[in-house]
């Protein structure tokens, strides 16, 4: 690798060619396939009531996942960084668990627990008249599960870094813990939290496997946008599949750019 | 007052590994009434959402005893799926170790127009929904390929999908470490007479090894559990391109919860073992370095 210019060029081109063939060209091709025949199929896709319904369901699941994970994530991060309690190390390791579990296994676990025949939660809930599986609550649970660690992973390092000086100062000046939380802690983790929320948002919109298992894939009822892409593709309605895929790809590319901007913003603010 | 707030420690560790003196004199718990309540609610929610469902998967797998568990795994189709998944995941991880380190090196040490674009593209597989990833790959490597390469429904398609979704792991693990690594150290090695190869194998790679191992572990774990990107491109052919996730799904759809749970448990254990093993390896290397 050293200093020789030739080896530098070889490595550069290996990197560029690999990434171009694996990612850039294929992703570009999806946009090309979508807009290749003009805008008409795209407009037709996004006025289709079934497509609109699936997008709405994705929005609902994403909303709940982001809300629940933000509340849980901020609380858990503060507890893990600022307090000591027995079992903390174990909890710290366990909150990362959803990242290493297959989406299909996530789906399976929810199906087993909420099954109306023999599920630990499913049986009492069905006696109370609440249906979880194959409907929106199961999709929300699956989406929330897979995105759970993302906010914690972003907020914890920031909390470590900012330290406790400001919080202690606020306390010693008479602020109660609620005031300290809103006026000191939240502003200091603002960028890390935003970054985590953006990641959580992208993951929730894109979830496929876990949602597929728990949703039952009932057309027009429990189909999210990603499930719609699969179904349209297998129904040989490729134009629509490509149109929705382009929308989802666009959202994820915007996510990456936003996260990149936030990151550089945090870095600029950092060295005071 | 100061005791209720733990002193902060920088670095990736969330808990201080080493607390200087007098651990006994400090209380085991610094929870107040309200933070204790918050912890209770958070742990309850986490248990309902994650821990209990996962425990039920393992419980269901073992409920019938060891016999049925083993017979599920030795079923020819299931066994083939497990072998294929582990083999392809290992292969992709090796490729990622090499190419991911190269890409990280290029991103840190090289300068050329379009580097920022490369940075953005590297993260695309992280953010792209997996079903879209499958569709994307099918465009260039499917039956309608503009370059005449059609790998759809073959084992190469499984490799391709794994390589796509795991691309960023090693790159993003190695990059920050390489940024910290002062180029002057390499220059010093060179000026002391080390060859380019010696500098690489004696100076650069040992420093990067823990990061590479961490990236490799994540990449392997991700590949083993992959599903969405394979649905459209691998064809899910029994004994040939069917991976474990698809096998689990087939069992679920057939109402065979115990069998699904058995395969799921194996995958859970393998993923955890790899992560723990590489974590141990990483620490050992870090200590030696």
pLDDT tens, B187-246?
Answer: 888 888 888 788 888 888 888 988 898 899 989 999 999 999 999 999 888 889 999 999
Residues A124 and A169 in one domain: yes
Give Cβ neighbours of residue A136 (< 8 Å, ≥ 6 apart). A57, A60, A61, A222
A147 and A214 share one domain: yes
Residues A129 and A9 in one domain: no
What distance lies between CA A98 and its chain's CA centroid?
Answer: 12
| Window B:126-145, CB contacts with A under 8 Å | 126-132, 135-137, 139-141
Judge whether B25 is closer than 8 Å to chain A, CB to CB: no
Are both A104 and A236 inside the same structural domain?
Answer: yes
Answer yes or no: is A44 within a domain. Answer: no
- Residue A155 shares a structural domain with residue A211: yes
Tell me whether residue A41 is in a domain.
no
Q: Is B97 helix (H, G, I), strand (E, B) or coil?
A: helix
Are A23 and B10 inside 8 Å of each other by CB? no
Alpha-carbon gap, residue A134 to A143, rounded angstroms: 14
CB A45 within 8 A of CB A176: no
Lookup: tokens for A54: 């699936």
As a whole number of angstroms, the distance between CA A51 and CA B27 comes to: 57
Q: B19 and B45 in contact (C-beta within 8 Å)?
A: no
Counting every residue, how long is chain A? Answer: 272
What ipTM was assigned to the predicted interfaces of this complex?
A: 0.90
End-to-end Cα spacing for chain A: 35
Q: How confident is the model at residue B255 (pLDDT cuts 50, 70, 90)?
A: confident
The structural domains of chain B, with segments of one domain joined by +, span 33-63, 75-288
Q: Are residues A26 and A129 in the same domain?
A: no
* Residue A251 located in a structural domain: yes
Compute, in degrees rounded to 10, the torsion defined by CA atoms B94, B275, B100, B203: -90
CB atoms within 10 A of CB B289: 10
In this prediction, residues B132-143 reach a mean pLDDT of: 94
What are the φ/ψ torsions at residue B111 (nearest 5 degrees)?
-135, 125
User: Is the distance from CB of A223 to CB of A244 less than 8 angstroms?
Assistant: no
Name chain B contacts of A102, Cβ cutoff 8 Å.
224-227, 244-245, 248, 264, 267, 271
In terms of domains, do A25 and A158 share one?
no
CA A108 – CA B53 distance, rounded (Å):
9
Same domain, A12 and A54: no
| C-alpha span between A240 and A41 (Å, rounded) | 7
**Which chain B residue has the Cα nearest residue A245?**
B132
CA separation for the pair A9, A1 (Å, rounded): 10
A60 belongs to a structural domain: yes
pTM, 2 dp: 0.88
B26 touches chain A (CB under 8 A): yes
Tokens of A242: 């490509």
Answer yes or no: is pLDDT of A261 > 50.
Answer: yes
The answer to the question of residue A42 being in a domain is: no
In angstroms, the CA A76 to CA A150 distance is: 12
User: Total structural domains in chain A?
Assistant: 2
Residue range(s) defining the domain that contains residue A175:
49-269
Domain-located, residue A104: yes
Residue A188 located in a structural domain: yes
Residue A2 to residue B190, Cβ atoms within 8 A:
yes
Hey, what CATH topology would domain B75-288 get? MetI-like fold (1.10.3720)
In a domain, A43, yes or no: no
- Rounded distance between C-alpha atoms, residue A79 and residue A185, angstroms: 13
- Check B227 against A208: CB less than 8 A apart: yes
**Chain B hits for A231, Cβ within 8 Å:** none
Same domain (yes/no): A76, A28: no
Query: What's the token pair of residue A44?
Result: 């037709």
Mean pLDDT (whole number) for B103-127: 92
A111-144 pLDDT per residue, tens: 999 998 889 999 999 999 998 999 999 999 999 9
A9 and A111 housed in the same domain: no
Chain A residues within an 8 Å CB radius of B136: 26-27, 29-30, 245, 249
Mean pLDDT (chain A) is 90
């Amino acid at each position: 690798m050293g200093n020789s210019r030739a080896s530098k060029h070889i490595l550069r081109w290996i990197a560029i060619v690999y990434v171009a063939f694996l990612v850039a060209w294929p992703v570009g091709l999806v946009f090309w396939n979508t807009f290749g025949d003009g805008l008409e199929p795209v407009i037709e896709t996004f006025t289709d009531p079934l497509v609109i319904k699936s997008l709405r369901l994705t929005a609902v699941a994403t909303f709940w996942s982001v809300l629940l994970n933000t509340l849980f994530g901020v609380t858990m991060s503060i507890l893990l960084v600022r307090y000591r309690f027995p079992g903390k190390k174990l909890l710290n390791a366990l909150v990362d668990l959803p990242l290493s579990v297959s989406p299909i296994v996530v789906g399976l676990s929810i199906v087993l627990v909420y099954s109306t025949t023999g599920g630990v939660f499913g049986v009492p809930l069905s006696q109370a008249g609440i249906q979880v599986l194959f409907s929106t609550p199961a999709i929300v649970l699956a989406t929330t599960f897979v995105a759970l660690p993302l906010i914690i992973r972003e907020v914890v390092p920031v909390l470590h870094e900012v330290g406790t000086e400001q919080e202690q100062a606020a306390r010693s000046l008479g602020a109660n813990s609620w005031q300290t939380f809103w006026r000191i802690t939240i502003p200091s983790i603002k960028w890390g939290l935003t970054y985590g929320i953006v990641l959580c948002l992208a993951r929730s919109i894109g979830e496929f496997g876990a949602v597929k298992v728990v949703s039952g894939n009932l057309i027009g009822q429990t189909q999210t946008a990603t499930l719609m892409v699969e179904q349209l593709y297998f129904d040989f309605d490729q134009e629509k599949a490509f149109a929705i895929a382009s929308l989802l790809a666009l959202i994820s590319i915007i996510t990456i750019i936003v996260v990149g901007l936030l990151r550089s913003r945090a870095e600029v603010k950092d060295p005071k | 007052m100061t005791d209720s707030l733990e002193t902060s420690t920088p670095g990736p560790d969330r808990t201080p590994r080493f607390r200087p003196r007098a651990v006994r004199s400090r209380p085991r718990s610094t929870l107040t009434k309200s933070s204790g309540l918050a912890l209770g609610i958070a742990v309850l929610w986490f248990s309902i959402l994650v821990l209990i469902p996962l425990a039920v998967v393992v419980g269901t797998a073992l409920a019938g005893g060891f016999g049925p568990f083993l017979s599920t795994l030795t079923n020819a189709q299931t066994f083939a799926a497990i072998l294929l998944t582990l083999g392809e995941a290992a292969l992709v991880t090796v490729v990622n170790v090499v190419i991911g380190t190269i890409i990280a090196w290029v991103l840190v040490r090289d300068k050329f127009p379009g580097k920022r674009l490369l940075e953005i593209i590297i993260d695309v597989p992280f953010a792209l929904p997996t079903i879209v990833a499958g569709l994307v790959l099918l465009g260039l490597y499917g039956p309608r390929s503009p370059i005449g390469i059609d790998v759809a429904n073959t084992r190469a398609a499984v490799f391709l999908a794994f390589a796509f979704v795991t691309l960023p792991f090693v790159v993003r693990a190695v990059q920050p470490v390489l940024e910290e690594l002062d180029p002057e150290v390499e220059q010093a090695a060179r000026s002391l007479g080390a060859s380019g190869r010696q500098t690489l194998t004696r100076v650069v790679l040992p420093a990067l090894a823990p990061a590479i191992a961490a990236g490799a572990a994540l990449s392997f774990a991700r590949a083993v559990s992959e599903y969405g990107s394979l649905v459209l491109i691998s064809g899910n052919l029994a004994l040939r391109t069917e991976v474990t996730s698809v096998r689990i799904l087939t069992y679920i759809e057939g109402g065979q919860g115990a069998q699904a749970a058995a395969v799921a448990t194996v995958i859970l254990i393998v993923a955890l073992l790899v992560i723990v093993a590489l974590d141990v390896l990483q620490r050992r290397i870090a200590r030696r370095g």
